Each structure stands twice: as structure tokens, then as C-alpha cells.
A and B are shown apart, each in its own frame.
Chain A
């Protein structure tokens, strides 16, 4: 028996020696639809994403559930229950031509091939409609001669909305940041190819920080005037369902926090929804296009951006609740010769991809700088 003792100890200590990892969350998807990505791609794991995706006609590329683990021994933190582009409002400047490019028609996804998703740049096609790219993302931090480059996992697919293709892209970075982007490309509306217009993707982000219960949203606001040298940042609670506007001078953000989630230092954890506009954010006569951010209480059937105003009428309390954040981005498309030309009555050429999107940035999720070394 004495002889066996060292082996028993070895078996007991093995997980610690190997770097004990918290068990991965059970996921409601399988096969190609389950993506599990540790960072860095080579070497000892530091952070980890685990998520489900689905490519659906009309609805585009959806994210169902997404968990992030800031270190191998840490708990997995749920970030999303569901994330999707709910609709894309496309009003033309002449006023009478307006499209809802997702809810209006049951458009299919376009197929992707290795030409879209070359293995040489980290691409892997996931089925017929989705490209996964795992790649270097440039500098994570730099301090004189010390430097660390970052990595990211990108999933994208495109909706074939007649003349347009909408590229729906989700990026999950090694530092816990999520980026959502929509890119518009393909062919200008052939009946009015020179008419300026907007493409407004509206995302529905069902953020469930560490679970759906106990979430609240604060409206991050920076205040500074040219008459004084000081500035103040405030974060008033958004107590009831409502819309909010983004002001570039106020750096407005939605801060989504959980009532009990704290990092190892005991600091409250939140994720911050930050607008990443390309040029600006538009307003249109449609009531759901009167604000940039909306916050609603979760209701399973409330999926459509064009019904947003009805979803908040009457407004419900959303403090310590299950919340859904909505964000409207804008792409101002002023046609140019680079988009194409009319040749013998046929429009020839492709509008190059233009993007808009947002960032969901963790705040006090890590205990200290991730990927830091001296």
C-alpha cells in the first residue's frame, strides 16, 4: 500500500500540475455550430470563448449563447443569450424609396467558399454560409520596447438582399471584447444608382451578464465644456425602458452590469456598449430610427426593430432585470464612380464594402491587465 502512495498523490495533483481548468459550460448546439476558441492560439491558454452560431435565411448570422473565461482557473462568464441584426432600414434621400432589408423579404444567405475565407489567412468555412477566421489583430499593448500582439476569432456570413449583400460580422477578441459590424456591398439600386441613401443596421443584443437575472443599464456620459478646464463622467441608471441618443462630445455608452458579478479584486464587473460610427448616426422619420440606443425588458417574441416603440409602451422597469440592448448604426452611401457605371443600359460594377458597428468592452472583468508580461 505504501508503494502506491506516491501514485495516488500524483493522480490527485495531476490537474493542478497540468493547470486546472474550470469545466466548460454545456452548450445548446453541436458540430460546426459550436465554436470553442482558446487564446493565444499557440502556447499556454490564457483566455477562452465558447459560443453557438446559426445562419438563417432572412435573419442572417446569429449568435446564440457566448461565454468568456478570463483565465483557465476562472469561472466562465455568460455574455450573450442571443445577438443578431434585427433589421436594416434603407431610406433613399429622394424620400419615397425606403426598404427594410431584413424584415421585408425572406432573403437567403450567400454561399462562402475558400475564395471568401482563405485558409492562408486563418480562414475556415463552417458549412456553406459562414467563414471563421482566427487571426492576429495587431497591437494589444506596447510600452517602449515591450510589446504584445493580440488575436481574435471572427465569424461572418452575408445576406443576399437582392442587389445588395450585407456582411454580418462578429468578432470575439482575446481580451474579452466583442465587435459587431455590418458591411454593405455589391450593386447599387439599378433604378437609381446615383441616389444617396443610408443603410441602418439595428442590432438586438440580448446581453445576459453572468445570467439573465439582475442586470441593470447605466448611461455613460462625459461632460466637459469649453468654458472650464474640468470634466465629469456620470453614469445615471436607465430605470425604465427607453431610447437614448449618442452624442460624440459626450462619449455616450450603455454600461450593462450584473448585481453580483465582481472580479477577483471585488470590483463590480460590467460590459460597455460603445458606438463605433463611421462618419455619423442618422435620424429618419420611422419612429424606431429616432434614437441610437434602446433598452427593453426581455420578451422572447420581441425581435423586430421596427416594433421597438410598441415594445416600450408603456415603459417597464428594467433595473435588476433581464434586459435587451439595441443599437442602430448608419452607413451613409453617397454613390461614386467607384461603385460602377451604366453600360448599354446595364449597371456594371460593385460598391466596395462600407462598415458600421459597435464594441462591447469588459470593465473590471479581469483582475489586472490581460496578456501582461515584463
Chain B
């Protein structure tokens, strides 16, 4: 409903103004999300922007290739007084605090920024090891791009090799699933002698409309840019 300014003329000045205030104040306004409500895409973008404007984040991320791995609500605690006030049924002012994780490809490190979205500021920044940064659809796409050029992989997958695709949806969103899908699992090396103990490795899995292919087993070491293919002996 609009709040017409012309309607004031037809009413006595005082009453008209009163009515207008009452009507306009009854209009539903978009409510700000509460601290632990799910994040909107716009909030995620804002948090990334705030984090990227921070000097320490910029310094840690460098100028090379990087990726936003995740943006999530961080359930940080508030003061005892606030906790008691909320428990008694009264609203408290809590910031919307988010955790933004970036991955820096050069050197394979992560950067964690805690963003207070309410006050539009970064409150903490820390470095994460590669192991502490989860792998993403973008890395899976890269791994598949790399593996799909490998002769052994092409041979093992046969004529259908180019039908396989990586789901392109951003984190948290579902896109229509392709019929031939490449999925990935991060491989954790069991011992230090295993390259995947420290490297970023993905085991690729090939899903068709009837199920997963039993072979080949393809592991892509993105750090070393190597593809390992295993086929069962016949």
C-alpha cells in the first residue's frame, strides 16, 4: 500500500497527519535477519567484500588466485548479562557474526576472517593450513579438467568420457543434476610418505544414470598436478 500525500488535503490537517502516520507505520517492512537466521546471498557477498577490504586479509591472501571457500554464521557468545536477558524473554542486541574462509592457491594456505556484519568490520583474522581448508566444487572442476586430458582416464572411460560434467552450483545451491556426473572425495594420506598427506588430492567418482562406475579409480593430486589411475586386473 502506498502512502498518498494528496489525501492529506481532503482531511483536516491534524487528523490526516495522524491517520497517515498510523497507516504508514502499519506497513510491513523488510525485517533484518536475526543473528542465527540463515544467511542470504547478499549477506554472503557483503561479508566477503568487508573481509577483502581488510588490510590483514589482503596481506595474507596476496594478489594471486584465490577462492571463497565458505561463508557461514559463527555462533559466537555474548555477555552473561545478555544471555540472562534473552532467557528472561527480552530481546538483546547481538551482532550477526560470520566466518569467511578463503583459499590462496599460491602456497596453498587458507585465511579465516571473522566478520561482524552488523558493524561492518573484521574482528579477527588467522591463517589456516591447507588441510584445514575444505576442497570445493571449483577444485573438483579443475581436477576433472586435468584428468579428462589424461590418456589413461580417457581410455578407461571410453567413448562416454566427454559426457561427464562437474556440477557447477555454488555452495549451498542446487543446480539441475547432469546425467553423467563427476563427484569428488578429498583423499587424506595415511602416512607422511603419501603425497596426499599434505597435498590437495581428490578421488574422482563417475556417476551415470544407472549408478557409479566401479572403475577406473582416479586420484588427482592438484598440488603436484598428477593423475593416478587404477584399473582392476582382469
Contacts and interface: CB of A to CB of B under 8 A. Distances in A.
Interface string B72-110: 111111001001111111111010000000000000000
A306 B132 CA distance: 9
B220 to A, nearest CB: 13
Contacts of A106: 69-70, 134-137, 171
A95 interface: yes
Contacts of B33: 30
B17 to A, nearest CB: 33
Interface string A87-117: 0000100011111110111101001000000
B165 interface: no
Contacts of B37: 28-31, 33, 54
A211 interface: yes
Contacts of B194: 96
Interface in B40-88: 69-70, 72-77, 80, 83-88
A31 B90 CA distance: 18
A191 B208 contact: no
A76 B69 CA distance: 38
Contact of B75 (A58, A82, A189, A343): A82
A63 to B, nearest CB: 10
Contact of A99 (B74, B83, B186): B186
B83 A64 contact: no
A163 B112 CA distance: 29
A190 B151 CA distance: 22
A116 to B, nearest CB: 15
B87 A193 contact: no
Q: Size class of B's contact patch?
A: 35 or more
B212 A187 contact: yes
A307 B136 CA distance: 20
A172 B155 CA distance: 53
A108 B168 CA distance: 12
B159 interface: no
B126 interface: yes
Contact of B214 (A58, A208, A346): A346
A73 interface: no
B205 interface: yes
12 contacts: A23-B89, A25-B88, A28-B35, A29-B36, A58-B134, A128-B174, A161-B185, A187-B211, A208-B83, A285-B190, A346-B210, A348-B211
Interface of B: 31, 33-38, 69-70, 72-77, 80, 83-92, 94, 112, 114, 124, 126, 131-132, 134-137, 140, 169, 171-174, 183-190, 194, 203, 205, 208, 210-215, 217, 230
Given A23-B88, A64-B75, 11 more contacts: A30-B34, A57-B70, A104-B134, A108-B171, A161-B185, A162-B185, A163-B205, A190-B213, A213-B80, A301-B112, A346-B212
